Amino acid sequence: MYGPREAEFSAPPARVVDYVAMKTGTEARKLVLYALVGLTSNAVAFAVYVLLVDVAGLAPTVSMTAVYIVAAAVGFWGNRHLTFAHEGPVLSSLVRYLITYAVGYVINFVILSVGVDRLGYSHIWTQAVAIVVVAAFLFLALERFVFPASTRAAVAAER
């Protein structure tokens, strides 16, 4: 027979399990969609980056700058519509998105500059690491700052 203390640690109520499953499913779905949008835009961007550096002879930081702008535009549309299903005002989310991507750009630029120019690492491997670091930063910033759930909930409540 269970004592009062043991009963506290028995199976949680069904509502909690359902809530956790629902949240985990939602978060997993967002991560998968974010990954698909990101992988698509970054695969194209990385290929163009390598061509700009290795074929056209541009500096890694100049090439990254050009590619970053194009990838950011594709990412805004994909993440707004697919990943976060954001229906709030476009202009305010775009401004937050540009701020977020500016910070991501600085992170990417610093990693690339330090890795290539200061430490002498391969620009390809350094940029590959930067993509992963910036992608993690961007997901958190997009979810919490650019396309916040509170905005999505407010739009849904108005319907």
pLDDT of residue 69: 81
**30, 67, 89, 136 from 95: Cα distances, Å:** 22, 20, 10, 20
Residue with tokens 């399990």: 17
**Averaged pLDDT, 22-45:** 81
Read off the pTM: 0.65
The model's pLDDT over 123-138, given as tens digits with 9 standing for 90+, comes to 999 999 998 999 899 9
**Which amino acid, 115?**
G
Please say whether the beta carbons of 30 and 83 come within 8 A.
Answer: yes
